[in-house]
Amino acid sequence: MNTAGSQLIIAAIVGLPFMSFLACVFLGRRLKENAQYVSILAVTISLVFSIFALLWVAGVLPASGGQISFSVPWIGLGEDATFPMGVQIGHWTAVMLVIVCFVSLMVQLFSGGYMAGHPRFAWYYAVVSIFTGSMLGLVVSPNFIQAYFFWELVGGTSYLIHGFYFERPAATYAAQKAFIVNRVADAALFIGIMVFWRETGTTSFSGIAEAAKAGIIGQTALTIGLLLVLLGATGKSAQFPLHVWLSNAMQGPTPLSALIHAAAMIVTGVYVISRTYDIFVQSPTAMEVVAIVGAFTAFMAATMALVQKDIKQIIAYSTISQFGYVMLGLGVGAFTAGVFHIYTHALFKSLLFLLAANLGYAVAGSSDMRVMGGLKSRMPVTYWAFVVAGLALAGVFPFSGFWSKDAVIASAYEEGHYVLFALALLTVGLTAFYIFRGIFICFHGEPRSEDARKASEVPVIMRVPVVILAFLSVVAGWVGIPRGFGLPVKDVFGDFVRPDRFVQSVTHATPGLFSFVLAGISVLFALIGLFLAYVFVLARPQWAEALGRRLPVVHDFLLNGWYFDLCYDRLFVRPAKALGRAVRDFDLREVGGLVGGFGRGAGWAGEKLRSLQTGGAQNYALFILFGAFVVAVVASAQYSFIAVIVLVAFGLAAAAVGSRL
Amino acid sequence: MSEGVIPLQAYLIVAALMFALGAWGVTIRRNAVVVFMCVELMINAVNLTLVAFSDYLPKAHGAGSGYAVVVIAIAAAEVAVGLAIVIAVFRTRRTVNIDEIDSMKG
């Protein structure tokens, strides 16, 4: 993989979306709706090249196999501090490249219909392009500095997405909230990178891992650095305690949410953990924290999703929850299971969001479930795709989510994290409940609004990606059917995306874990959740109302996301505002007063000194003489008696002049 | 070097008196022309000290006299300008009383 041509191809994977971004920005006015073809062409070529990279690392192409790796010097700050910009593509990276390009392509195809006629159509595609490019750049990064660069770019462009409809105050608020919460995480990540750099003198992933293996970096410093990286990841992946921005961030165009949730932005956090996994496994404490944060987040976000009134909110909380699973998997040492869940999640989550976009398209731009209902017969394609995505999300056999989620849960059990295992299992039930509650409310029963009564199926261009993704949501998991399941199929994914030998020796986790009992229990939980959703929404809706009336505290607690926003408001926002006000008052009163005082003092002194300007030349001559006299006195103090005489003479002279003026 | 019987201090005292008299006149006389004459008096007091020092300090090689010549030349030029100003002021204000010319009052 050293020829210039092949390197160019790999670089083009990242470069093309950026070029498309520039084209859409600078030629947007002229391109108008044709911007989509530029952007789609770029991402399609990226996808093809990504598949090429995948085949290369898989060893399918002639003279291939192993890693793709090259770099160029980027920033040089002397001998010990040169930061290269480069590409390093291993097995998992190659898969991720394909996922990102594929989801982006689906979203862009879909958006052509969804955004049709919007005045900022070209800008929309510009945003999608740069967002995709940033994510791809992050995915191929071989070191923390480059990763951080693209990490920030992803975060920055997400600001553009959340604030796309900047006419709405809620959208600008959401954009700012996401931006600020992510700044906290980014700062943590940056400090983490600095810790690694100080300790090891390198920022490359492999370099740090080697340094840790060799014991160059101490266990304490390693753990601190990793926890900071983890905090960064909790911000981007919306994990506890920095998940609060995600539920607000539903203000952007819905298809873009599909991209954010399935292939970019929110994936960045868990992806970076999986990318630096050979560093993570060397700190048991950090791994433990990852697992706990993951399991807790999965459970917490699932409870929040139970009572939401907006379908997009449900799906958003579901993302938080599902990435909790990924973190849990990575934390307990099940690398393959964790990243497998990223892969399957990308497909069914992007599908869910595109379907939510379908609903919004059909029902006057709203995603509020209180205006839906009875859409099953009016939008059959959307409905059945939604059911498929829901089953995949809930982890029902044999949909894709089942295989990955079950591998995570089984690993948690196998590694002896029984509490986390129980939380994960409980979350399966909750997941099935919330997603089918949403489906039942939206599609069954009577239409609850005039718009819902008039709704019809979406255009073909929007149906195509949906159907493709629905198909993949069913079958995509089958590439990772674990060994021991009894079927004569290979665990292709598990064989391909495998942690390196070193990680295997540290984690002990058996890849491709599977147990019929655990799988059965987890599917049972999912079915119970599904059944309860059916009971509470369709069969006995009055029970749900009664429950809500009986337990209003719990209902509000869940609806308001465990009051995290309130807590943060009290803990951080208000003190910060109070501090800001105090500083402003200090500035106005003390600093402003001081400055104003100086000004007024100068004015007052000038007013007083004015009377010295008599305009009389003789008067001035007197001052000059007096000044010369003072100088003379200072210079020759011993003749002070002369000085006294002259002074008296001046006094008389001054009196004579003064009496005339 | 001169063998004059008059000591240096005598010159200096006379010069100081001349200077003080000139300064006195500059500060209190009203007529601008008289003020100019007093300025001349002060200048000449300084010239006197310069010449006296030049005579009494052999190492000065007569530099003081040279300065005195320069000062006299400048004084002549100054008087020319000064009188022109006085005449211009008289034409516009019909007075040369220096205490009535205070248009620069703050």
The CA distances from residue A49 to A13, A356, A616, in Å, are: 6, 30, 91
Structure token pair of residue A71: 């770099």
- Return the residue of B nearest to A657 by Cα: B28
Residue A193 and residue A268 in contact, taking contact as beta carbons nearer than 8 Å: no
Quick check: B91 contacting A, CB < 8 Å?
no
Q: Which of A625, A644, A657 to mutate to test the interface with B (most CBs of B within 10 A)?
A: A625
* Predicted confidence band of residue A64 (pLDDT cuts 50, 70, 90): low
> What is the per-residue pLDDT for B49?
92
Length of chain A: 661
Nearest CA to A157 out of A140, A139, A182 is that of A182
Q: Please give the residue of chain A at the shortest CA–CA distance from B26.
A: A618
Choice between B31 and A28, residue whose per-residue pLDDT is larger: B31
Instruction: Flag whether pLDDT at A458 surpasses 90.
Output: no
Instruction: Label residues A168-191 b or e (16+ Cβ within 10 Å = b).
Output: eeebbebbebbbebbebbbebbbb
**Pick from A393-407, A486-500, A539-553, A600-614: least confident:** A486-500
In this predicted structure, the answer to whether residue A606 has a pLDDT above a threshold of 70 is yes
- Enumerate the residues of chain A whose CB falls inside 8 A of the CB of residue B102: 614-616
**Position A512 pLDDT exceeds 60:** no
DSSP A545-564: HHHHHH-HHHHHHHHTGGGH
> Smallest CA–CA separation between B24 and chain A, in Å?
7
The answer to whether the CB atoms of A613 and B104 lie below 8 A apart is yes
Over range A587-602, report the average pLDDT: 90
> For chain A, what is the radius of gyration of the CA atoms?
33
Output the pLDDT for position A16: 92
Contact B28 A612 (CB under 8 A): no
* A554-566 pLDDT tens trace: 777 777 777 887 8
- If phi > 0 it is left, if psi is from -120 to 50 it is alpha, else beta; for residue A374 that is left
Q: Which residue has the higher pLDDT, A482 or A191?
A: A191
Q: Cis before residue B7, ω within 30 degrees of 0?
A: no
Round to whole Å and give the CA distance between A331 and A419: 14
Secondary structure in 3-state letters for chain B: CCCCCCCHHHHHHHHHHHHHHHHHHHHHCCEHHHHHHHHHHHHHHHHHHHHHHHHHCHHHCCHHHHHHHHHHHHHHHHHHHHHHHHHHHHHHHCCCEHHHCCCCCC
DSSP reduced 3-state for A616 = coil
Report, as an integer, the average pLDDT of A606-623: 81
> Using CB atoms and an 8 Å cut-off, which of residues 25-44 of chain B contact chain A?
26-28, 30, 35
Nearest C-alpha of chain B: how many angstroms from A593?
Answer: 29
Cβ-contact A336, A416 below 8 angstroms: no
Q: Answer yes or no: do A618 and B20 touch at CB < 8 A.
A: no
pLDDT digit string (tens) for chain B, length 106 residues: 455 578 888 999 999 999 989 988 888 888 888 998 999 999 999 999 999 988 888 887 888 888 999 999 999 999 899 999 999 989 998 888 887 887 777 6
Helix A266-275 and helix A254-262: axis angle, to 10°? 10
CA gap A400, A317 in Å, rounded: 20
Distance from CA of B4 to the nearest CA of A (A): 27
Q: Are the Cβ atoms of A618 and B35 closer than 8 angstroms? A: yes
Which of A607, A609, A611, A618 to probe the B interface (max B CBs under 10 A)?
Answer: A618
For residue B28, list chain A residues with Cβ-Cβ distance below 8 A: 618, 653, 656-657
pLDDT on residue A190: 92
Q: Which of B23, B98, B106 sits opposite A617 (nearest CB)?
A: B98
Q: In Å, how far is A632's CA from the nearest CA of chain B?
A: 13
Pairs of CB atoms within 8 A across A/B: 51
CB-nearest to B98 from A618, A653, A654 is A618
Nearest to A615 among B20, B24, B102 (CB): B102
Handedness of CA A358, A364, A366, A369 (dihedral sign): negative
Give Cα A361 distance to the centre of its chain: 26
Instruction: Indicate if the pLDDT at residue A661 is higher than 60.
Output: no
Pairwise CB contact (< 8 Å): B28 & A656? yes
Segment A234-254, tens digit of pLDDT? 888 888 878 788 777 777 788
Q: Inspect the interface and report whether the beta carbons of B99 and A616 lie closer than 8 Å.
A: yes
- Rounded to a whole number of angstroms, the distance from the CA of B56 to the nearest CA of chain A is 22
Q: Sign of the C-alpha dihedral, residues A593, A594, A597, A603?
A: negative
Question: DSSP for A238-288?
Answer: T-TTS-HHHHHTT-S-HHHHHHHHHTSTHHHHHHHHHHTHHHHTT-HHHHH
Would an 8 Å CB–CB cutoff place B101 in contact with chain A?
yes
- Which tokens sit at A34? 């044709």
Burial of B87 (0-12, 13-18, 19+ CB in 10 A): exposed
* Strand partners for A68: A89
The stretches of A395-456 forming alpha helices (DSSP H) are: 400-414, 418-443, 450-454
Residues 6+ apart with CB under 8 A from A640: A633
Residue A638's CB: how many other CB atoms inside 10 A? 7
**Is A72 strand, coil or helix?**
strand
B 52-71 residues inside an 8 A Cβ radius of A = none
Task: Give the gyration radius of chain B's Cα atoms.
Answer: 17
CA dihedral of residues A621, A623, A628, A633 (deg, nearest 10): 140
Name the residue facing A625 among B23, B35, B104 (closest C-beta): B23
Helix ranges, A282-399 (H): 284-305, 311-331, 335-362, 380-394
> How close is the nearest chain B Cα to the Cα of A597, in Å?
24
pLDDT of residue A76: 77
Selection from A59, A17, A9 nearest residue A157 by Cα: A17
State the DSSP H helix or E strand holding residue A230, giving kind and residue range, or none if neither.
helix A219-236
- Better-predicted residue by pLDDT, A51 or A308: A51
- The 8-class DSSP code of residue A639 comes to G
Chain A contact for B99 (CB, 8 A cutoff): yes
Asked if B106 lies within 8 A of A613 by C-beta distance, the reply is yes
Asked if the Cβ–Cβ distance from B26 to A618 is below 8 Å, we say: yes
Q: Which of A263-277, A494-508, A586-600 has the lowest mean pLDDT?
A: A494-508
Closest-CA residue to A250 (of A333, A152, A320): A320
Please give the structure tokens belonging to residue A126: 């510009």
CA distance A499 to A521: 28
B30 chain-A contacts, CB cut-off 8 A = 660
Determine the pLDDT at residue A173.
86
Helix (H, G, I), strand (E, B) or coil at A477: helix
Residue A486 has pLDDT above 70, yes or no: no
C-alpha count within 13 angstroms, C-beta hemisphere, residue A43: 31
Is A178:A249 a contact under the CB 8 Å cutoff?
A: yes
Quick one: pLDDT at residue A488? 64
pLDDT score for B70: 93
Which ipTM value was assigned to this complex?
A: 0.80
Mean pLDDT over all residues of chain A? 84
CA distances from A659 to A285, A655, B29 (A): 93, 6, 13
**For the residues A193-206, what does the mean pLDDT come to?**
86
Q: Say if residue A32's pLDDT is above 80.
A: no
Q: What integer is the mean pLDDT of A279-292? A: 88
| Cα nearest neighbour of B100 on chain A | A616
Q: How far apart are CA A575 and CA A587, in angstroms?
A: 18
- Give me B100's structure tokens: 């009535």
Query: In which band, very low, low, confident or very high, does the pLDDT at A90 lie, cut at 50, 70 and 90?
Result: confident
The candidate with the shortest Cα–Cα distance to A404, out of A478, A504, A303, A509, is A478
Q: Which residue of A has its CA nearest to B99?
A: A616
Give residues with Cβ within 8 angstroms of A256, minimum separation 6: A107, A111, A124, A127, A128, A131, A161, A164
CA distance A600 to chain B (A): 19
Q: What is the pLDDT of residue A279?
A: 87
pLDDT, position A615: 77
A615 contacts B106? CB cut-off 8 A: yes
Q: Would an 8 Å CB–CB cutoff place B9 in contact with chain A?
A: no
pLDDT, tens digit, 9 for 90 and up, residues A145-187: 899 999 999 888 888 888 888 888 888 888 888 888 888 889 9
- Which residues of chain A make contact with B101, given a CB cutoff of 8 A? 615-617
Chain CA centroid to CA A344, Å = 19
Tell me if B27 and A625 make a contact (CB, 8 A cut-off). Answer: yes
Confidence of residue A580 (pLDDT cuts 50, 70, 90): very high
CA distance B104 to chain A (A): 4
Q: pLDDT (tens digit, 9 = 90+) per residue, A347-405?
A: 888 899 888 888 888 887 777 777 887 787 888 888 889 899 998 888 887 888 888 88
In angstroms, the CA A440 to CA A533 distance is 8
User: Would you state the pLDDT for residue B74?
Assistant: 92
Q: What is the pLDDT of residue A653?
A: 73
Average pLDDT over residues A183-207: 87
Lowest mean pLDDT among A428-432, A618-622, A631-635: A631-635
Confidence of residue A487 (pLDDT cuts 50, 70, 90): low
- Mean pLDDT, residues A269-292: 88
- For residue A627, which residues of chain B lie inside 8 Å, CB to CB? none
pLDDT of residue A495: 76
CA A355 to chain centroid, in Å, comes to: 22
